[in-house]
Each structure stands twice: as C-alpha cells, then as structure tokens.
Amino acid sequence: MLRSVGVISRRQPLLRLFARSQSSNALTKTALPFTYSSSGPISVKYTAQHEWIAAHSDGIAFVGITKYAADALGDATYIELPETEMEFEKGDSLGSVESVKSASEIYQPASGTVQGANGALEEAPQLINQDPMGAAWIAKVKLNDLKDLESEDLLDLEQYAKSLSHDDH
Amino acid sequence: MLIAPQRGPLKGHLVRYGLRWIRSQVPFKLGDDSSKFTELNEMYTDMFSQNTSGKTVATQSENYKDMIDELNKETDQLFNFQSHKLHPKELEEIVKKPGRFIIQSLSKNPYYNLALENYVFNNTPSGHDKHNKFGNQRLLFYVNKDCVVIGKNQTVWKEVYLTSLAKRGYELLRRLSGGGTVVHDLGNVNYSFITSRDEFERDFFNKLIVQWLTRVKPEGPLALSQRGDIVLGDKKVSGSAFKIARGKSYHHGTMLINSNLDQFQGLLKPSNIAGITWKCNSVDSVRSNVTNVFLNSTQEFMDICSSGFKQHYGTADRNIPILLCDEEISEIDEIQDEISRLKSDKWKYLAGPKFCLSLANENCSITVEKGIITESSIPSIVGSSFLDFTKDLDSFQFIDRNLIL
C-alpha cells in the first residue's frame, strides 16, 4: 500500500503534493491533542518513522501516527497501547498497530512518562484510519524536557511533507 | 553440506571437487576399523617421531581439520557460497554490514529460529545505498519441530487447546509479528523476507514464490488468494504475517510441504465453542482448510526460492551468498536474551490484549488485563494471574476445564 501512495505522488506536481501532504498530516484542530490547552500546542513535530508529537506549554504532549502511515498500513485490527506511568526514552517502542496482518511499531519521539493511553482505540482500532492526527492519539506523555522537541531529527510539517516526496518508494 | 546441490554449469566442477575431497579424506579416516592399525601406527610413530603417539595423532587430525577448512574456504571463493556454519562473530559482522544474503538455519528449535530471525531483522541496516535504493534484502529459512505459534496480539486460551498441545508434545510460542495461529512440524518450512519499510508490500514476496514454484511445476494450480495467501486449488498451503519496525519490514510465512496434517487436528480451537464466550479485541485467526504443496522436501523449496531470490536481487558483480547457521550462534547475547524472553511466561501468557470470558452455565465471568485478573464473579481470583488460575482449575469444580484449556 505504501507503494500505491508513492505512485500517486510521482504523478503529481510537487507543489500540489505539498499542499496535499500538509493538509492531511496536519493536526486535527477539533480533537484533544489540539484542544488540550486553550492556546493549542506550542510545537508539533514529526519523525522519520511517521509518528507525530504535539506538545503544550505545560510539558504535556500527545503522540500518534501520521495520516500517511495510517493510510499505508490499511485497516487497523488492534492497537497495542503503552502502560500508564511507564517512562520511555526517546526511540523506545511505545506500542504497535496491527493492521491487516502486519504489526507496526510506534516509537516515542521524545523522552517522557506516559500519563494516559487512548482507551477508545481498544474498542475501536479503526479510529486510527479515520482520524490518526486527532481523535486516534495513542499516548499522553509528560515530557522530560520541552526543549527535546528542538532536536534536529524531529521534523516540522513542511520538512515531513518534503521527506515523503523525497522518499524513494 | 560441503557440496550444496547447484544447478547450471558449476555442477561439473563441484563434482570433481567433491571427488578430490573424498580421495584426500580416505587415508586419514579414523573409523572403528582404525583400531587394528593402532599397533602399526604406534610403531611408525615410535620410529619416526620424538613425540608421544597420542600427540601425533591429534596433530594429524588437526592438520586434517585445517585442510578441510582450507578446502572449504577455497570452494567459497571459487563459487561464492558458504559451506560451513557461521561463527557468532561472522554472523554479527555480515548481518550488520549492508548487503543481501540468504540464511538457512540448521536448527529445528523454534525459540532459536524466531530469535535468529529477530536478530537479523533488528540488525539489518535501514539506510539506502549510493543510488538511494535499499540494498539489504535478506531471506531466511527455518524448519521447526512440532509447535503452535500464535500472533503477537492474540489470546492464548482462545486460540489453542493447551492440554492437547502438552499431551502431544507441541511447544507453544507467541511470535513478534501480527496475524493468526499456525501449526509447525518438520514438513513445514518457514521463509522470512526482510526489506525496507518503504518497499514493504504485502503480496510482493508471495507473488514471487508463486512464480518460482509455477516455473517448476507449470500444471500445479498455485495462486494467490484475495487475502494474499498462497493457495492450491481452494486450500491454503501457506500463511503469512508481517512486522514493521525501525524503517524495515519483514514478511514471514509458512509453507506446507510434507506436513503430517492429520496430526494438526484438535490443536487449534474453532472460533465458537458452546458454553464459553470471549469478549476481546484480540486478533482473530481465520480458519482455513490446508494442504501440502507439490514439492518433495523442505530443502527443495529452499533451493527453488534461494535461486529465485539470487536471480531477482543478484547483480553481475555481486552474487548473493547462502549462509548456514546453527545453534552456536545463540552465544550472541542479543539472541540468547530473545530466546529467554520468548520462553518466558511473561511473554507467552501475561502479554497480549485485554480479554473477558464468560461461562454461560456457571454464570461466571473473568476480565484479564496484561495477564492479571482485574474483575471476576469469583472474588477470590481477582489480582492473581490468569495463568495461575488455569493451573489451579481443579479447585473450581463448577468450571468445565475443557472449555478453557
């Protein structure tokens, strides 16, 4: 399925692709990861492994997988969620998404302690296909340090979109 | 396995080489018959050597070993395939280095084989080469002795009859990939194709297998089902599961060659059993009729796919080696740790999704999270592990143990 996304992107002019990736991989403005604080997240970053992280000024961040990743994986059948109070280093496996028979790992984009997991995904894993950038957030994390989001390997939306178009699928 | 079966023009050379090897072997052969020559040997030893006889024999057989190693090395260089089992250090080096290869495991131990597969997958470099292509595709083969393997996100007690497994000597394993439950025996061969996350495509490798096997037997009605399974007529011969992590992916599958299919009966539970209801979000197995594919041996399947893989991925300047691994590889800490994890109750019975089961007749319900009973109509069992509860089932005589185990 990743391949079919690649085929579309090759056929589309670069600019149009940017607009498309940016809108689809942007945070949903009406769901908790955005509305958690009244002013919205102060930083939204992306990893090369297709996770997103949205951090608020009080050091709370939400983590999920991008629209691109959710589309590529297809219909989700089970989401493995992290345990509350568990401390995760950056790069640790936070959980996984099982879709039509594949199990795909989700990694912690920045170190912190899990304060809660999205229980809605237990009952309705397909939520991850419907709103991966919002209602289907995976973990709510208390970050060790907000500054960690300035790390070079975390991309902003534009960089992430660019990385998708440069990927050689 | 000094001389692997090989098609094409190399054959003649190999046979000649083999003869040379056999000829050189004869004078040194230390079989039972050698005892009658002991006296003679000792005499010569005394005559021509200052050492004691024992030492000389040892040195000779060591020389002999060296010679074989030397010969093997020569063969490898000549024909670019490995004929000896990889040492832990060699495995470590080749896995971590970029490049394509094929591994055939000689072990029949399922824990070892899953750990080896995981090791190769984790340590395969994820980066792209200078042409911005992923060049580290790997293909593994292994055969496991009797065992039942459940998917990562499945519930053990829902999928298998643990009592029959134990009675009939089948090991139970939980693998690291998704999907449903499968039965392995020595007539089934497992393949594992590693590539990048970007190149991951569900049906890619099974399409190749169908193509390769059809070439061998064009009249065999082998095809890919809508679910991406390889089928012979309307029966499944192979099951697949997939894993994606750290920029890489693998597709591993089973292939039934000469499995004792009658023996598989009664190991896996049907989706519905009267008297018990499972409420869980775990992944369901899709029950299918299975049959053996038209090959003679698991080795034949490995040979066909190895040569297909070499053709598909080999280049003029780089042949793809076939490497042999056995259990000494488990000296690598990472493999040893993984074997321990796969064997642990924590991974087998305390991992996996939350589930709730209710027994209709007994009016009893149990909710289990991460292996621990969190709610139940039997208050005394709340807080203990479901595994311990099943071990102690006889003290709950109102429960029909056959419904759970």
B52, part of any domain: no
Last residue of a domain, one of B318, B349, B380: B349
Residue A4 in domain: no
pLDDT of A110 above 80: yes
| Dist. CA B37–CA B24, nearest whole Å | 19
C-alpha torsion angle, residues B266, B270, B276, B282 (rounded to 10): 120
pLDDT for the residue A90:
93
DSSP three-state, residue B402? helix
Contact B312, B304 (CB under 8 A): no
Task: Output the six-digit token pair for B200.
Answer: 């991951």
pLDDT digits (tens, 9 = 90+) for B205-247: 999 999 999 998 888 789 999 888 999 999 999 999 999 998 8
Q: Do A168 and B198 touch, CB atoms closer than 8 A?
A: yes
Interhelix angle B110-123/B333-343, nearest 10 degrees: 130
If you average pLDDT over every residue of chain A, what do you get? 86
Nearest CA in chain A to B249: A104
- Bridging pattern class, strands B276-280 and B322-325: unpaired
pLDDT value at B297 more than 60: yes
Query: Considering the domain boundaries, does residue A140 fall inside one?
Result: yes
Residues B188 and B295 in one domain: yes
pLDDT level of residue B11 (50, 70, 90 thresholds): very low
My answer on whether B167 and B245 are in the same domain is yes
Task: Please name the member of A2, A101, A168 whose beta carbon is closest to the beta carbon of B179.
Answer: A101
B120-164 tens-digit pLDDT = 999 999 877 777 789 999 999 999 999 999 999 999 999 999 999
Q: Is the pLDDT of residue B39 over 70?
A: no
Its ipTM equals 0.74
Residue B296 phi/psi, 5-degree rounding, is: -85, -30
Looking at the domain assignment, is residue B338 inside a domain? yes
Q: Give the tens place of pLDDT for each residue, B181-206.
A: 999 999 999 999 999 988 888 899 99
In a domain, residue B81? The reply is no
Same domain, B201 and B235: yes
Q: Is the pLDDT of residue B300 over 60?
A: yes
Q: Select from A73, A80, A83 the Cβ nearest to the Cβ of B153.
A: A80
The CATH number given to whatever domain includes residue A163 is 2.40.50.100
Q: Do A103 and B242 touch (CB under 8 A)?
A: yes
Nearest to B201 among A2, A73, A125 (CB): A2
Q: Is residue B159 part of a domain?
A: yes
- Taking 60 as the threshold, does the pLDDT of residue B53 lie above it? no
Q: Could you give the 3-state DSSP secondary structure of residue B174?
A: strand
DSSP state of A82: P
Would A116 be classed as within a structural domain?
A: yes
| pLDDT band at A4; cut points 50, 70, 90 | very low
Read off φ and ψ for residue B216, nearest 5 degrees.
Answer: -75, -40
Does B9 map to a domain?
no
Does one domain contain both B339 and B377? Answer: no
- Burial class of B293 by CB neighbour count within 10 A (0 to 12, 13 to 18, 19+): buried
pLDDT for the residue B399: 87
CATH number at residue B123: 3.30.930.10
**Candidate from A98, A100, A105 with C-beta closest to B245:** A105
Q: In b/e form, how buried is each residue of B146-181, taking b as 16+ CB within 10 angstroms?
A: bbbbbbbbbbbbbbbbbebbeeeebbbbbbbbbbbb
Same domain, B367 and B336: no
- Which residue in chain B is spatially nearest to A101 when comparing CA positions? B179
B143, B183: one domain: yes
User: Quick check: is A40 in a domain?
Assistant: yes
Last residue of a domain, one of B349, B374, B395: B349
Contact B281 A125 (CB under 8 A): yes
Query: What digits encode the pLDDT tens for the residues A43-98?
Result: 999 999 999 999 999 999 999 999 999 998 889 999 999 988 889 999 999 999 99
Shared domain check, B243 and B364: no
What does DSSP say about strands A51-55 and A43-46: parallel, antiparallel, or unpaired? antiparallel
Residue range of the domain that includes B365: 355-403
Q: How far is B363 from chain A (nearest CA, A)?
A: 24
Cα B203 vs. chain centroid, distance in angstroms? 20
Q: Are residues B397 and B314 in the same domain?
A: no
φ, ψ of residue B352 to 5 degrees: the values are 95, 170
In angstroms, the CA B328 to CA B57 distance is 27
CA A43, A145, A94 angle in degrees (round to 5)?
Answer: 80
Q: Which residue of A has its CA nearest to B152?
A: A103
One domain, residues B383 and B318: no
Contact (Cβ atoms closer than 8 angstroms) between residue B209 and residue B223: no
Q: Which domain holds residue A50?
A: 12-167
Work out whether the CA dihedral A72, A78, A83, A84 comes out positive or negative. positive
Beta bridge partners of B369: B372
B153 contacts in A (CB within 8 Å)? 77-78, 80, 98, 103
Total structural domains within chain A: 1
CA gap B112, A108 in Å, rounded: 29
pLDDT tens-place string over residues B360-405: 877 899 999 999 999 999 999 999 999 999 999 999 888 888 899 9
> Are B201 and A100 inside 8 Å of each other by CB?
no
Q: Would you say residue B145 lies in a domain?
A: yes
Contacting A residues, span 29-48, partner chain B, CB-CB under 8 Å: 48
* Mean predicted lDDT score pLDDT of chain B: 84
Q: Is the pTM of this model over 0.90?
A: no
The answer as to whether A102 is a domain residue is yes
In a domain, A75, yes or no: yes
Contact A101 B370 (CB under 8 A): no
Residue B314 to residue B309: CA distance in whole angstroms: 8
Task: Judge whether residue B329 has pLDDT over 90.
Answer: no
Q: Give the separation between CA B170 and CA B187, rounded to whole angstroms.
A: 14
**Does residue A112 lie in a domain region?**
yes
Check CB contact under 8 Å for B178 and A167: no
Chain centre to alpha carbon of residue A162:
16
Task: Dump strand ranges (E) for chain A.
Answer: 43-46, 51-55, 60-65, 76-80, 87-88, 93-99, 102-107, 112-117, 139-143
Closest residue in A to B253 (Cα–Cα): A101
Give contacts of B350 with chain A, Cβ < 8 Å.
Answer: none
Chains A and B: how many Cβ contacts under 8 Å? 83
